[in-house]
Structure 1
Amino acid sequence: MSNAGHPEARAALAAALPSLAAGLPPAPVVADPTYLTHSSAHGATHWKFEAPVEHPVQDYERLEHVGDALLGAEVTLMVHEAYPQLVVGVRSLVKSSLVENELLALLSSAYGLPDQIRTAWAQSFSLRANPSVRACVFEAYLAAVYEEHGHAVMSAFVREVFKPLLPVAVEAMREVYVPPSAPVAVPYGGLVRNPVSALYEWTQRGARRSLSWGAPEGIGPPHCRTWSIQLCVKDGGESVYHEGVADTVKAAKHLAAMLACAEMDILF
């Protein structure tokens, strides 16, 4: 499936998979190698509507189409069963992150499928290294498991593979939609000092000190938008970056400034 997931969930899944790989379930054995065959191995044959009965299936394209649907349905059910309170928009992002090409390509590699892909000799290296091809082969494999072993075996395998990955995606999205509450300015010396003001005061006490803010970025639907902003603090030749995430731009800026103050022991 094309990449439609959320970047935070995508990154969290990619980071988590290496440590989870040792616990992946064994792959059911599939006798028919069609799921490993790329169309370049035999030359693509195109039909206007349907292939003749006597024309055998020679590559994974049709299996990948079925596997994509089977995987999407199974993961959707897993999200619904494990997290029934998630709103629909977040459910869609979690599901998309779990079934997009980037993660499926990594799973395909974890099961050693890319090295087995059958292609035209001249294209073997580039196709086996292509994340989209790797993902397609994984989906085709699921369809092959379904055809040879039935839905129950396919379903059990998918659920074992994705059970530890599902909470990773959900918690990554939780951090985006439910960020920590932005801190408020605290009393200091009988006054309330804003960390943004404290930072600007700090820049005045050094010849090569400066602050710069990135453009705020909105994440999520309009009715539940989260804002992030990046702060660059320069002191001489050194630059340090801090990011604030909150439900308003002002609160995100406040949080980024507070993080910078905390790191540099600036009282506010």
Structure 2
Amino acid sequence: MSTSPSDDQLVAAIAEITGTRVTDRLRLRAALTHASARKGDAADYQRLEFLGDRVLGLAVAEMIFADYPQAPEGELSLRLNALVNAETLAEIADEAGMPDLIRTSGEVRARSSRNQVNLRSDVMEAVIAVLYLEGGMAAARAFIQRYWGPRSKLATAARRDAKTALQEWAHQAHGATPTYAVDNRSGPDHDPVFTVSVAVGRLAPAVAEGRSKREAEQAAAAALLKREKAWKG
């Protein structure tokens, strides 16, 4: 939307996307507001994002636990990680048409594509929290099943994450365990950037950035594997 949508428009749009008509309009507005667009003592999505992350994790864990009764814990963990990472959440936000509903400053919208992925991912988690607070796990599960269910059936959902792949490769190729270090943390509290390096034996470290320590570690692990031509995803 070219202008900030009204509360009525937000309620209608989210109802169409999620199947739940939200009654707490202030909460819904907060879920779709980045800190850069917050006015006065109005809330933004950060607290809701915290709750939504846990609700999503539980719902997806339940889903894959039921769908893959023979899968070992390791495979379940890989599927979970692939389904709840920032890229997947941002893709679903785009698919659902959620980005046009987000309130943020022009400065934030002009940031890198990586930051935009994180923004859409955070808002998705905040909206899930709103669904949970509005209608309990039933409302949250219905939405999550609609968008995450088909993805959970894909073979790519079980691909190895970079840290796991690096650890396996490091043990086999070098008899060593990867070591990670946080080299720097910058940016405001609501939008931090972590710089992490990872080393294996005597190999030169690989360095990468991410919005969380875990994300930066994954990126650094992938960078080292790609450099050594050992990353297959």
TM-score band (shorter)? 0.5 to 0.7
Tell me what 2:132 maps to.
146
1:159 maps to what in 2?
145
2:203 match: none
Q: How does 1:221-240 map to 2 (within 5 A)?
A: none
Aligned residue number for residue 228 of structure 2? none
| Greater share of residues in helix | 2
Q: Structure 2: 5+ residue runs without aligned partners?
A: 1-15, 174-233
Map Cα deviations across residues 45-83 of structure 1 (whole Å, 9 max, x no partner).
9xxxxxxxxxx6610000000000000011011111110
- SS of equivalent residue, structure 1 residue 106: helix
Task: Tell me what 1:172 maps to.
Answer: 156
Q: Is the 8 A contact 1:219 1:226 kept in 2?
A: no
Q: Which amino acid aligns with 1:71?
A: L
Q: Aligned partners of 1:127, 1:147: CA distance in 2, in Å?
A: 32
Tell me the number of residue pairs that the alignment of Structure 1 and Structure 2 aligns: 148
Q: Partners of 2:49 and 2:55 in 1: how far apart?
A: 10
Q: Determine which structure has more spread, i.e. the larger CA radius of gyration.
A: 1
The verdict on how the C-alpha distance between 1:42 and 1:66 changes in structure 2, with shifts beyond 3 A counting, is same
Corresponding residue of 1:120: 105
1:174 positional shift? 6.4
CA deviation digits over 1:121-155, x for unaligned, max 9?
A: 43334389710010000010100111223221111
Structure 2 residue aligned with 1:133, among 110, 114, 119? 119
1:39 pairs, out of 31, 35, 40, with 35
Do structure 1's residue 96 and structure 2's residue 81 form an aligned pair?
A: yes
Shift of 1:100: 0.2
1:199-233 Cα offsets, whole Å, 9 max, x none, are xxxxxxxxxxxxxxxxxxx94875xx999xxxxxx
Cα distance in 2 between the residues matched to 1:36 and 1:127? 20
TM-score by length of 1: 0.48
User: Shift in Å at residue 90 of structure 1?
Assistant: 1.2
Distance 1:139 1:76 in 2: 15
Cα–Cα, structure 1 residues 99 and 26, in superposed 2: closer, same or farther, change >3 Å? same
Aligned equivalents of 2:136 and 2:158: distance in 1? 35
Contact 1:90-1:173 at 8 Å conserved across structures: no
Amino-acid identity (%): 31
Q: What is the aligned-residue RMSD (CA, Å)?
A: 3.2
Q: Which amino acid aligns with 1:39?
A: A
Give the match for residue 60 of structure 2. Answer: 75
Hey, what's the Cα distance between the residues in 1 that align with 2:120 and 2:172?
34
CA distance in 2, matches of 1:113, 1:78: 23
For 1:85 and 1:134, the matched residues in 2 are separated by: 33
Match for residue 46 of structure 2?
Answer: 61
Asked if the contact 2:79–2:158 (Cα under 8 Å) also holds between the matched residues in 1, the reply is no
Query: Could you tell me how far apart the structure 2 residues matched to 1:127 and 1:112 are?
Result: 20
User: What secondary structure, in the 3-state scheme, does the structure 1 residue paired with 2:108 have?
Assistant: helix
Q: For structure 1, which runs of at least 5 residues remain unmatched after alignment?
A: 1-24, 46-55, 177-217, 228-268
| 8 Å CA contact retained: 1:42, 1:120 | no
The structural deviation recorded for 1:166 is 0.6
